[in-house]
Amino acid sequence: MSETDNFKKVIAHAKEYGFVFPSSDIYDGLSAVYDYGQQGVLLKNNIRNYWWKSMVQLNENIVGLDAAIFMHPMTWKASGHVDAFNDPLIDNKDSKKRYRADVLIEDYIAKLEVKIEKEITKATKRFGDAFDRKQFISTNPRVVGYQEKANAISARMAKSLEAEDLADVKALIEELEIACPFSGSKNWTDVKQFNLMFGTKLGASADNATDLYLRPETAQGIFVNFLNVQKSGRMKIPFGIAQTGKAFRNEIVARQFIFRMREFEQMEMQFFIPPGTQKEWYDHWKKTRLNWHLSLGMGEENYRYHDHEKLAHYADAACDIEFKFPFGFKELEGIHSRTNFDLGSHEKHAGKKLQYFDQERNESYTPYVLETSIGLDRMFLAVLSHSLQEEQLEDGNSRTVLRLPAVLAPTKVAILPLVKKDGLPDLARDLVACLKWDYSTTYDAKDAVGRRYRRQDSLGTPYCVTVDHQSLKDQTVTLRERDSMEQIRVTTKELPQLLEAKLNLKNWLTNLKD
Ligand code: GAP
C-alpha cells in the first residue's frame, strides 16, 4: 500500500472511531482546524500528561505555568514575530494555488531521499546478511550522487533564505523544474514574505480598540513571567518553566491533517542557564528529549536529528527531532539554544531588567535559554499513524489494530460479559466499579465477543477482560492482551496488580535514560 493510502487510512480511522473530526464538520469543515472526539481527547490528555510528568513532576528544577493566550502587543514586537515571523510564499499563476517556497524545495529533497531509500532496500535484498549499510551509502555512486544533490540544494536554500534573497529561492525552484503539485504547471510568481500571526482586537468600540495577536508560540508567556516565577518560587539557575497551551499560525500550506494546523497546541519548556553553558545544555536536552520519545517504544529507527542550517533570529544552535510520519521524516520537536535574545529584547522594549544574580559567579546577568518545543497534535499524529496497523492473522482473517503505547491508550481496560444474562453483567459491572478509579475502563456487552475484541483493537485498548460462567464459580476471568492476542486465566483479585505492572506511568517513565 502506498504512503498516501496509508495516510488516508489514518485520517479515516481517526474520524470513524472518534479520535479527530474536521472542525465545524456539518458546515464542511474549516481548513486546517480540527476537533478531538471522545477517544482523541483521552489520547491527547494522556500524551500531555506523559510530557508534563516527565518534565515538571520528575525534575525538581522545572516548574509549570499557564500564561494567557492574549498578550500585550509589544510582546510580539520584542520577540521579533512582527518583523520576522514570515514564510516565503509563491503562487502558481495557472492553478492559482499558493505554496511555501521552502516546502516545495524540501519536498523535492524528500524525493531524492526516497530514491536513496529505494537503492538501499534493493541492495539489502541483493546482499542479504553481508550488506553493510554504512559502506553502501558512502560508496554507491547513485546514492552518493543523490545525497550530494540533496545537500547542495539544501545549502543553497538555507543561504538564500538567510540572506532574504527571495529571487534566488525562485530561481532555485525554476532550475529544479519544480511543478505545481496540483496542475503540473511551472508558471510561478515571485516569492514574497507572509506574516503568520493572526490579528484580533481588544475593546468595545472600533475607535479605541487595541490590536492584538493570537500567540504564535507559548514561549513568550514564559519569558515575560521569568522574574515572577524566579522570585516567587525562589528558583536558582539553572531552572526551567514548562507550559502547554494553544498557539495559532496562519499557515500558508495547511495540509497533512493535524501535522500543520492553524490552531494547535504546544508543549514547551524554557530552561534558564548561565551564559556560556548553552552548548552543554543543548546537548543534554537533545539527548533527554530523544530518550523521552524512545521510552514509548515506537522504534529507534523512526527518529532522527536534523540540525538546522538556517537559524531563527533568536538562536545560536537548533535541531529538530524528526519522526517517520506516513509522508516521510518530518519535524516533531525542536530543541533551540535561544541565547539571551528574548529576555534581552523584552528588557529593552519593556524598560525593565530581567536579570538574575548568580551567587556562585557573584554577578548579575540576563540568562541564556535552552528551549524544548513539541507540538501536541503532531505528537498525537506520530503516535496514531505509527500505531495503526493492518494485520494478517493465522486463520486467514485480518484485523485492524491500533498498537498504541499502553500508557497512552484512551481506554486501558474493556470489561466484556460473555452473555447479557445469568449474572455475568453484574460481575462485569463490579469489575468496572473496582478498576475505574485507577484506569479508564469501559463496559461492552454488545455483539459476539470476537467482534468486541476487534472493536477494542481498533480503539487501541490494550487489555480486555472477559467474564464467563466459570467466573461466577471461581472468580477467574480471561485477560486478553491486544498486541499478542494472548489470553490467560487470572483471578479477579490479581487483576489490578497485573494491570498495574503494564500500565503504571512510573514503569514507562523509569525507562527514561539520563
Ligand atoms: N517556541 C518555538 C517554536 O514555536 P517551532 O519549531 O515553530 O518553534 C515547535 O514549533 C513545534 O510546534 C514544532 O516542532 C511542531 O511540533 C509544532 N508546530 C509548529 N507549527 C505547527 C502547526 N502549524 N501545526 C501543528 N504543530 C505545529
Q: Whose CA is nearest to atom 2 of ligand 1?
A: 373
Grid coordinates given for 273: 542557564
Q: Whose CA is nearest to atom 20 of ligand 1?
A: 260
Ligand 1: distance of its center to the CA of 305 in Å?
16
Q: What are phi and psi of 161, to 5 degrees?
A: -65, -40
Ligand 1 pocket test, pick from 333, 373, 377 with the greatest ligand atom count within 8 Å of Cβ, gives 373
Exposure on the CB side of residue 337, measured as CA atoms within 13 A:
20
3-class secondary structure, 337: strand
Query: 261 CB contacts (<8 Å, ≥6 apart)?
Result: 32, 33, 34, 251, 254, 377
d(CA 110, CA 259): 17
Cβ–ligand 1 distance for 107 under 6 Å, the answer no
Q: Whose CA is nearest to atom 6 of ligand 1?
A: 334
Cβ–ligand 1 distance for 264 under 6 Å, the answer yes
Grid coordinates given for 194: 507572509
Cβ–ligand 1 distance for 249 under 6 Å, the answer yes
In sequence order, the β-bridge partners of residue 131 are none
Please tell me the total number of residues recorded for the chain in this structure: 514
Q: Cα angle at 193 between 189 and 195, to 5 degrees?
A: 135
Grid coordinates given for 222: 514564559
Helix, strand, coil percent values for the chain (each to nearest 5): 40, 25, 30
Ligand 1 pocket test, pick from 243, 253, 263, 266 with the greatest ligand atom count within 8 Å of Cβ, gives 266
- For helices 101-127 and 166-175, give the axis angle rounded to 10 degrees: 40
Ligand 1: distance of its center to the CA of 429 in Å?
43
Per-residue tens of pLDDT for the chain, all 514 residues: 667 788 999 999 999 999 999 999 999 999 899 999 999 999 999 999 999 999 999 999 999 999 999 999 999 999 999 998 999 999 999 999 999 999 999 999 999 999 999 999 999 999 888 889 889 999 999 999 999 999 999 999 989 988 889 999 999 999 999 999 999 999 999 999 999 999 999 987 777 788 899 999 999 999 999 999 999 999 999 999 999 999 999 998 777 899 999 999 999 999 999 999 999 999 999 999 999 999 999 999 999 999 987 787 788 999 999 999 999 999 999 999 999 999 999 999 999 999 999 999 999 999 999 999 999 999 999 999 999 999 998 888 899 999 999 999 999 999 999 999 999 999 999 999 999 999 999 999 999 999 999 999 999 999 999 999 999 999 999 999 999 999 999 999 999 999 999 999 998 988 775 5
Q: Whose CA is nearest to atom 7 of ligand 1?
A: 217
Q: Whose CA is nearest to atom 21 of ligand 1?
A: 260
Q: Whose CA is nearest to atom 10 of ligand 1?
A: 373
| Three-state DSSP string of 141-207 | HHHHHHHHHHHHHHHHHHHHHHCCCHHHHHHHHHHCCCCCCCCCCCCECCCEEEECCCEEEECCCCC
Q: Cα angle at 291 between 402 and 11, to 5 degrees?
A: 30
Q: Whose CA is nearest to atom 19 of ligand 1?
A: 375
Question: Domains of the chain by range and CATH?
Answer: 38-72+196-385 (3.30.930.10), 86-193 (no CATH), 395-512 (3.40.50.800)
Ligand 1: distance of its center to the CA of 403 in Å?
26
Cβ–ligand 1 distance for 102 under 6 Å, the answer no
Exposure on the CB side of residue 1, measured as CA atoms within 13 A:
12
Ligand 1: distance of its center to the CA of 375 in Å?
5
Ligand 1 pocket test, pick from 23, 79, 264 with the greatest ligand atom count within 8 Å of Cβ, gives 264
Query: 64 CB contacts (<8 Å, ≥6 apart)?
Result: 52, 56, 241, 242, 243
Report how far apart, in Å, the C-alpha atoms of 46 and of each of 51, 52, 385, 392 are: 9, 10, 16, 29
Cβ–ligand 1 distance for 216 under 6 Å, the answer no
d(CA 413, CA 433): 12
d(CA 411, CA 38): 11
